[in-house]
Amino acid sequence: MAETILVTGASAGFGQAICRRLVTDGHRVIGAARRIEKLQALQEELGEAFYPLQMDVTDLSQVDLALASLPKAWERVDVLVNNAGLALGLAPAHEAEVADWLTMIQTNIIGLTYLTRKILPQMVERNDGYVINMGSTAGTVPYPGANVYGASKAFVKQFSLNLRADLAGKQIRVTNIEPGLCEGTEFSMVRFKGDEKRVEALYRDAQAIQSEDIANTVAWLIQQPKHFNVNRIEIMPVSQTFGPQPIYRGD
């Protein structure tokens, strides 16, 4: 059955791949992002099943205006994919830029929760809907330099689980997708602030997850019967695994 699906962060990376896959599957997709020219180019590619919506999730008043601007035929949102998010910097906490922390909190936490709060009432009223949040393995596995980014993704994981608790008795599904190392997106270029050498070093000789892998995961989740809920789905490339915790000893 065709659904109307709102995807944030739709101008590149995961979001763009998710939009392409869902339109291919026969759904109608509202692609939301700041860069309207990227969305318009995607609309030319995908056709009338794709609606471009300029929206910056960090600007709450703009979120309100963007949602209010949707044509009546696009007002119903069956599935919300909270994909917009970012990491900035990889410095230890005592050296990190506070401005970077605030941007991550505003995007990964406040933007995600506010948009969810705006869309959720219509799902509750219909007793039908699906919220898919984009988390990260960083929300579970700490590593040096992840500090606020990892904490923000831990928030997304716990928010997703608590939504399930709040929605007890409602036919509304909630899933947190938690990817590991992913390539072919703007994520690392943003994180390293345009340092191409650091980005190249990160992915060198590693077969990382691709955007299409995440898009296929979202499509699979939506295809499942509505009585079936995946609370969390953690995805890592085979090239990435776990390691021992370091122990630093005195002289």
Q: With contact defined as beta carbons under 8 Å apart, do 140 and 182 qualify?
A: no
Catalytic residue among 114, 143, 149, 203: 149
Q: Measured between alpha carbons, how far is 216 from 225 in angstroms, rounded to an integer?
A: 16
Q: Where are the beta strands (DSSP E) in 84-137?
A: 129-134
Q: With contact defined as beta carbons under 8 Å apart, do 30 and 115 qualify?
A: no
Catalytic residue list contains 149:
yes
The angle at the Cα of 42, spanning 5 to 63, to the nearest 5 degrees, equals 50
Q: Measured between alpha carbons, how far is 151 from 213 in angstroms, rounded to an integer?
A: 24
The angle at the Cα of 113, spanning 107 to 117, to the nearest 5 degrees, equals 140
Straight-line distance from the first to the last Cα atom of the chain, in angstroms, rounded to the nearest whole number:
65
Reported as type and span, the H/E element at residue 175 is strand 172-179
Query: Active-site positions?
Result: 149
